[in-house]
Structure 1
């Protein structure tokens, strides 16, 4: 992956993270910076997955790649929210 690909993955990752957060129902207890990091990771992993399945280079917009990236971001946001929520519930129960 070239430097321009990495920079575009970061910019797209910000958008992907926000879209992934919107897909997950309910209120998430993670910050926007963590959401952006999840989006960047999902964008990079999703691009690799799309490339592996040979759906990354199409004419026009790569809708399948975007869907893979948004899905990965939603899973990442939900997993982090669930892990953070579990800790806060346990600490409230101990008090």
Structure 2
């Protein structure tokens, strides 16, 4: 159980950081949010890849990793756009 949680955090960190490297420019987002988005993206990528019937025989699962980075890049972009639009009500 604890190994799964640690694995999800490490996987989320890797996917989140790779997504931030793929995106152009500077993203104003914390490392904790990057990890959270990476974890969510990893879960969503697993669902997407599983739905299309992908099964990894051995080695590194490249397809889920690539899909996870794409999903994370989209989520980071959406988060940055949403966080940038916050306005103070007067």
Between Structure 1 and Structure 2, which shows a larger proportion of helix residues? 1
Distance 1:53 1:27 in 2: 33
Change (3 A) 1:78 1:25: same
In structure 2, the partner of 1:77 is 76
What whole-Å deviation, never above 9, does each CA across 1:36-79 have from its counterpart, x for those lacking one? 10001001111121111122423221111111000001111111
CA distance in 2, matches of 1:6, 1:34: 16
In 1, the alpha carbon distance for the partners of 2:17 and 2:38 equals 7
| TM-score, scaled relative to structure 1 | 0.79
Aligned Cα RMSD in Å? 2.1
- Residue 35 of structure 1: aligned partner: 34
The aligned counterpart of 2:53 is: 54
Quick check: which has more Rg, 1 or 2?
1
Give how far 1:5 is off: 4.9
**Structure 1 gap segments, 5+ residues each:** none
- For 1:18, the equivalent position in structure 2 comes to 17
2:76 is the alignment partner of 1:68: no
Structure 1, 38-47 or 7-16: larger mean CA deviation: 7-16
For normalisation by structure 2, the TM-score amounts to 0.82
Structure 2: where are the runs of 5+ without partners? none
